[in-house]
Structure 1
Amino acid sequence: MDQLEFAYPWAFILLPLPVLVYWFVPAYRSREDAIKVPFFTEILRALNETPKVAAGLLSPKHWQRGMLILSWMLIVSALAKPSILGEVQTREDFGRDVLMLVDLSGSMDEADFTTADGSTLTRLNAAKNVLKTFIAKRSGDRFGLILFGDAAFIQTPFTADQQVWLSLLEEAQTGMAGQSTHLGDAIGLGIKVFEQNPQPSEQQVMIVLTDGNDTGSFVEPVDAAKIAAARGIKIYTIAMGDPTHVGEQPMDMEVVQRVSQLTQARAFIAIDQAELDKAYQLIDKLEPQQYSSASFRPKITLHYYLIAIVLALHLLIFSWMTLRQMFSRAEVANE
């Protein structure tokens, strides 16, 4: 048995209590006539006897004594509140909730990102590659994913399962959310995701990857950023590609910078794979991991099991004696 412990070991001093009661407390006595006959006096006179007070003491059987001793031992043991250590459990305290907002407008299919070996990638594939590296370094954070174009939708709620998150990211394709860029609506949806998070973190970070200006959101990006700032959400924005030639029209970097500044974060411009990697490396330094885990073995109390055993034993014995008495009466009646 794994490390049996007693919360109140002093309770065992009660074990000899029944013996002390047996020794120092006399048995209950009751006075009553043992026999009633109209000629009792004549019988005594004939026998030359005088009336005496008789005493009878009921003695329990051996199995009854055993049951009483066992029951008392179980009750005292339950009072001591025994417990054992359960299986090892791990408690994880996640550091940050990081919500990724990825632009899927048609311009994200532009293959103008150059890698270290000279090959080219589409902006979306470049973003996927750097996200895989970024996620792998942050095992203590929970990640969510919002994809946006003409509209924004949640691709992945917050999860610590990196493989699931990456697999759902891999399913993202340009144009699946429309051809335009509704950045303000995407930020607004991100704020709602943070508000509805059942296990909110104190550190809430939003990272936006986009290559174009907002083209018709119900809420302007700057206004959405003000709401995010009021709720303590940081928004890092990464403008992908040349800001003078990307998206449906040249990107308004003033808006991008304003969104990040309002939330006490930073904005970045990534015109190739190397710049995109640097942006995420800097975000990784600005928002370091805050993760901790602790292993423990919970205590499992056993006292209610002991009480249950006592009750079950007495119930069985009472039932057995009742049935035995019923059968005895039936036999006498049949005779």
Structure 2
Amino acid sequence: MFSFAAPWVFVLLPLPALVYWLAPPHREKSSSIRIPFFRHVAKAAGVEPRSGSVIPRRAAFQTVTVIVIWCLLIIAMARPEKLGEPIVIEKSARDVVLALDISGSMDQRDFTSSDGTPTQRLAAVKDVLRQFIAERQGDRMALIIFGTRAFVQAPFTEDLNSLNGFLDQTQVGMAGPNTALGDAIGLGIRTFESSEVDQRLMIVLSDGADTSSRMTPVNAAAIAAEKGVVIYTVGVGDPDASGEDRVDLDALKDIADRTGGAYFFANDQDALAETYARIDELNPRIVETQSYRPRESLAHYPLRLVVLLMLMTLAAQHVAQRRRGAA
């Protein structure tokens, strides 16, 4: 498709004609020879002598060339463009924060893998999270790890391969042996401060009760609700255990309810995979669609013709002058 980026320039097209009609013509003085009987010659010829100057006349091909050059310059200034086929870009309007508990209790080998063998809790969680992350193409995701303290392992990124790399580097106990669930939620809220999208989703996975947070999980959940952050909580520990090893299911349910999210409990790898599939169903991905058409400028073509016509005109004038000189 062909179009002009500045079509208003065509209003200048009749400008030379207006100048020709309204402005006084250009006059040039010419040399002459005075003779004693000039008046008699003029009278015999029936011409009334007058003082003044000569209006130079332009050859027909010169007039046509000037008109064509002006039209080509106007076309070039109008910026002709060739429009390509529309290109549609889909961009996710959702940011996701994964908050992963890596306290000492995540080292227990009481999780059942898909083949029925017992496996480490964190290893089983990593296997499911890798698949979950790989299916989030287009989403921006961040990874927070927490134990005694909470840390941002990976800020928001669309490079999901690098996010999986950061997940692989996560080990049990690297953030301390205890569980700072409230601090992890608070850190996730601060992470969302750089987010400009409306759909903000936080997935919190924990296998223990909060024991070392400076902010209680309930207060953190209330702030998250005010900020428009929806929290889904996943419990993977043993609710019948004692002390820090007992997962606080009531707290996880309360956190999810306060933010409009949902709570899940997974005691094996298959249940954990179903949990993340269910989270996808509850929060369908919102996509922003943007489209544009690539533009290729064609202004250089009329400019090349202008240069070519000017060179041809100069060459023709030079040949005509040499012929007159030879004659």
TM range (shorter): 0.7 to 0.9
1:43 maps onto 2:43 in alignment: no
Amino acid paired to 1:239: G
Amino acid paired to 2:36: I
Consecutive unaligned residues in structure 1, runs of 5 or more: 318-335
Amino acid paired to 1:255: A
Which segment is superposed worse, 129-138 or 260-269?
A: 129-138
Identical positions, percent = 40
Q: 1:160 and 1:90, CA in 2 relative to 1: closer, same or farther beyond 3 A?
A: farther
| Aligned length in residues | 303
Q: 1:196 and 1:18, CA in 2 relative to 1: closer, same or farther beyond 3 A?
A: closer
Partners of 1:139 and 1:132 lie apart in 2 by: 12
1:28 maps onto 2:25 in alignment: yes
1:276 maps onto 2:269 in alignment: no
1:253 maps onto 2:249 in alignment: yes
1:143 to 141, 144, 155: 141
Amino acid paired to 1:43: P
Q: 1:289 and 1:70, CA in 2 relative to 1: closer, same or farther beyond 3 A?
A: same
Please show how residues 55-94 of structure 1 align to structure 2 within 5 Å. 56-59=54-57, 68-78=66-76, 80-85=78-83, 89-94=87-92
Partners of 2:28 and 2:298 lie apart in 1 by: 46
SS of alignment partner, residue 275 of structure 2: helix
Q: Partner residue of 1:114?
A: 112
Deviations 1:199-226 (A, max 9, x none): x221111000111111121111110100
Is the CA contact (8 Å cut-off) linking 2:208 and 2:237 kept in structure 1? no
Partners of 1:8 and 1:270 lie apart in 2 by: 62
SS of alignment partner, residue 43 of structure 1: coil
Please show how residues 299-314 of structure 1 align to structure 2 within 5 Å. 299-300=295-296, 309=303
Please show how residues 178-327 of structure 1 align to structure 2 within 5 Å. 178-197=176-195, 200-245=196-241, 248-291=244-287, 293=289, 296-300=292-296, 309=303
Deviations 1:264-322 (A, max 9, x none): 1111121221221222121121112223655542335555x689x59x97xx99xxxxx
SS of alignment partner, residue 5 of structure 1: strand
Q: RMSD between aligned alpha carbons?
A: 3.7
Which segment is superposed worse, 274-283 or 232-241?
A: 274-283
Is the CA contact (8 Å cut-off) linking 1:101 and 1:206 kept in structure 2? yes
Q: TM (normalized to structure 2)? A: 0.77
Q: TM (normalized to structure 1)? A: 0.75
Is the CA contact (8 Å cut-off) linking 1:211 and 1:246 kept in structure 2? no
Q: Partner residue of 1:168?
A: 166
Amino acid paired to 1:163: N
Partners of 1:147 and 1:8 lie apart in 2 by: 54
Is the CA contact (8 Å cut-off) linking 1:181 and 1:213 kept in structure 2? yes
Consecutive unaligned residues in structure 2, runs of 5 or more: 312-327
SS of alignment partner, residue 157 of structure 1: strand
Is the CA contact (8 Å cut-off) linking 1:88 and 1:296 kept in structure 2? yes
Amino acid paired to 2:182: G
Distance apart, 1:96 and its partner CA: 1.7
Partners of 2:11 and 2:169 lie apart in 1 by: 69
